């Protein structure tokens, strides 16, 4: 479903610098795969946020005891897409923000819904948007998304990068994540781009 646009958004940037968003919403394969198809997004990395450097490793994070969430770091051109639009996609097609410490069958704090803000503007936009969506009762249950300051983003292992684009027929991806990508195309045709901006492509620029 397409949710209302954020009433409060970041001001349009004129300096031409890329901005960064860090979001967690379940398994990072699908979150990365969705944003790679968004116009204005220049790079998306899968990784870990919320814990310490010495536990930012897949097997350890999977214990659910590190404080880390599987996250993605999104670099985007604010002249093409705003931080608010990034969040609109996040709440509309990326995940269910009313599920606490899980997404469907993936259970644990590492799969939590979490926005990691980089500055006060991002914090304000995120908090206001959650309040706006809750007030509009667009979900049957209350949003449980956490809004926390970003301490550090740790890039995940190479084999997790571009996972959806490389393995579209893998059973988990086909069942859980390809529908999200198709939903993006259907719900947000204005920001859809056919060719995904993969990590491999981004590194060539």
In the chain, domain spans: 19-202
Q: What is the residue-level pLDDT of the chain in tens, covering all 205 positions? A: 779 999 999 987 777 799 999 999 999 999 999 999 999 999 999 999 999 999 999 999 999 999 999 999 999 999 999 999 999 999 999 999 999 999 999 999 999 999 999 999 999 999 999 999 999 999 999 999 999 999 999 999 999 999 999 999 999 999 999 999 999 999 999 999 999 999 988 887 6
Secondary structure E strands in 146-193: 146-149, 153-155
Q: 19-202, what's its fold?
A: 3.30.1060
Residue 15: predicted pLDDT: 78
Q: What's the CA gap between 74 and 35, in Å, rounded?
A: 8
pTM of the model: 0.97
Query: In this structure, are residues 101 and 70 in contact, taking their beta carbons and an 8 Å threshold?
Result: no
- Please list the active-site residues: 27
Please give the pLDDT value at position 80: 93
């Amino acid at each position: 479903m397409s949710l209302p646009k954020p009433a409060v958004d970041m001001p349009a940037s004129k300096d031409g610098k890329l901005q960064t968003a860090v979001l967690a919403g379940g398994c990072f394969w699908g979150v990365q795969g969705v944003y790679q198809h968004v116009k204005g997004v220049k790079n998306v990395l899968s990784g870990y946020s919320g814990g310490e450097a010495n536990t930012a490793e897949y097997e350890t994070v999977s214990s659910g005891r590190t404080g880390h969430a599987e996250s993605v770091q999104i670099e985007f051109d604010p002249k093409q897409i705003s931080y608010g639009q990034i969040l609109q996609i996040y709440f509309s097609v990326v995940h269910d923000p009313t599920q606490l410490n899980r997404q469907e069958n993936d259970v644990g704090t590492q799969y939590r819904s979490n926005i990691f803000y980089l500055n006060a503007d991002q914090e304000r936009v995120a908090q206001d948007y959650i309040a706006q969506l809750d007030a509009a009762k667009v979900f049957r249950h209350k949003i449980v998304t956490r809004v926390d300051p970003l301490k550090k983003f740790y890039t995940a292992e190479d084999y997790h990068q571009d996972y959806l684009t490389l393995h579209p027929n893998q059973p988990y991806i086909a069942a859980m994540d390809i529908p999200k990508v198709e939903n993006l195309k259907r719900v947000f045709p204005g920001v859809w781009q056919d060719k995904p901006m993969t990590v491999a492509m981004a590194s060539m620029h």
